[in-house]
Structure 1
Amino acid sequence: MATNKYTGAQKAAILLLSFGEEISAEIFKNMTEFEIKRIGSAMSRLGRLEQEVIDEIMMEFYEILQQNKKFFYGGNDFTMKVIGSAFKGGEADDLIEQLALGSSANLDALELIDPRTLTNFIRNEHPQTIALILAHLDPGKCGEVIKLLPEALHTEIILRISNLDAVAPEIIDEIDDVLRNEIQAMGSISSQKIGGVEPIAEMLNLIDKATEEQILDNLEERDPDLAEQIRQLMFVFDDLAKIDDRGIQEIIKNVKPEQWMIALKTASEAVTDLVFRNMSERAAKMLKEDMEAMSAVKLSDVESMQFEIVQVARKLEEEGKIIIAQGGEAAFV
């Protein structure tokens, strides 16, 4: 091989010259003074090079990248830029795709741990670490864990989740190193947007009303704008009043009269009128009579039944039978 006569410093010099001035300058920033002097000296002594030599060194670099995929991450823009400069279009695209596939970090194993065990495991971690871990859970489980954590942490964690954006897999790997002894199952994730307001609203939709209100009230004191954004994205029982008649009729078909009897106990006049208006005259009359004859009901039972009906509405939306827009407005399709 023609490149065997070149030292490591000379090969590095050839690579950097091939990358161009801008990328080479960025790479030099991450080198020691000794490394810069060695490679700089090699650059000044290279002389004229055959294209065959350059191609062979590029291929050697390519093979090293393939063997060390775990050190390169799909979210690393600079790494992608280096590869794009070093290789021709198709070859560069193939390598970038391979590196992205080979660079997965993992926290999916968290889903295998029950909420209480997970809570005990993370309760003493830094709030930012807790937020990052919870952001990888499904909203229902995230809500359960937050409820089990000390109340003093709730607002802080919600704020941190809302501010999370794209997280590089190397950070996930650092956390996974800490969790590794506790979590044996393996999974994979790529750099992705995991935080923001939407998952918080979805999570709050899935927990009990008392915890939801406590979190939002505390959040209101810290960040009123964020609290309002979350409320706008949440769909609660009172938002049924914003659904059109055809949408409500679809929901009524999927909710038993005895469920309405309890859920409407504390409902707003707007919701109550809307439900009665979209029932048959006979069904509405029977429901009113049952409600008048009904004995006292625990507030928690009412809220639980309202929650069940909200879940029916959300399921219908998932099935494409109604559309719930931001703020709870819906249309029938």
Structure 2
Amino acid sequence: MADNDEVKKSDELTGKEKAAILLISLDKERAAQVLQAMDKKEVEILTEEIARWENVPPDLVKKVWQEFYQLSLTSSYLNQGGKKYAEEILNRALGNHRALNMVDNFRENSKEENVEESFFELLEKIEPKDLLNFIKSEHPQTIAL
């Protein structure tokens, strides 16, 4: 936002503006890592928004970070796991066929007394690009975390 523009209050900001402020407040390396995890259109949108903000008042940065922190705490309390959730995220990340193969493999392994490969080890085999496809629809503030 230019110096001569009126500074908005944190509760008046759009999601794009808040995401831009979060990225501006990061060091360049971390901001670049966040942008690398987004698709081209999202990068363009956020870059345009970042360019609009010449100076961000420190108190506004603090308020946006506090809101983000509270949102992440609330989100973590609401998140649930379990086998059904794991199956759903695998299905979204990998597609139905690959997810079913992994779930079947996990189920067979979990029936054995000595499980050779844990479910988390199976998740580690997921290609990063597949995980990116899963999280790219998340809110930019969530991805930034």
Distance 2:66 2:47 in 1: 22
Deviation at 1:23, TM superposition (A): 2.5
TM-score (norm 2): 0.53
| Runs (5+) with no aligned partner, structure 2 | 1-7, 85-99, 127-145
Output the amino acid matched with 1:135: N
Q: 1:104 aligns with which of 81, 87, 97?
A: 81
Partner residue, 1:134:
108
Partner residue, 1:13:
20
Partner residue, 1:166:
121
Larger RCO: 1 or 2 (CA < 8 Å, sep 6+): 2
Distance 1:29 1:39 in 2: 12
Deviation at 1:103, TM superposition (A): 4.8
Q: 1:32 aligns with which of 36, 39, 49?
A: 39
- Compared CA separation, residues 25 and 129, structure 1 to 2 (3 A): same
C-alpha RMSD over aligned residues: 3.3
Q: Which has the larger radius of gyration?
A: 1
8 A Cα contact 2:10 2:60, kept in partner: yes
Distance 1:64 1:132 in 2: 33
Deviation at 1:22, TM superposition (A): 2.5
Distance 2:30 2:82 in 1: 27
TM-score (norm 1): 0.26
Distance 1:67 1:129 in 2: 29
The number of residues matched between the two structures is 102
| Runs (5+) with no aligned partner, structure 1 | 70-97, 108-124, 143-160, 172-333
Partner residue, 2:59:
52
8 A Cα contact 2:109 2:117, kept in partner: no
8 A Cα contact 2:18 2:64, kept in partner: yes
Deviation at 1:47, TM superposition (A): 1.9
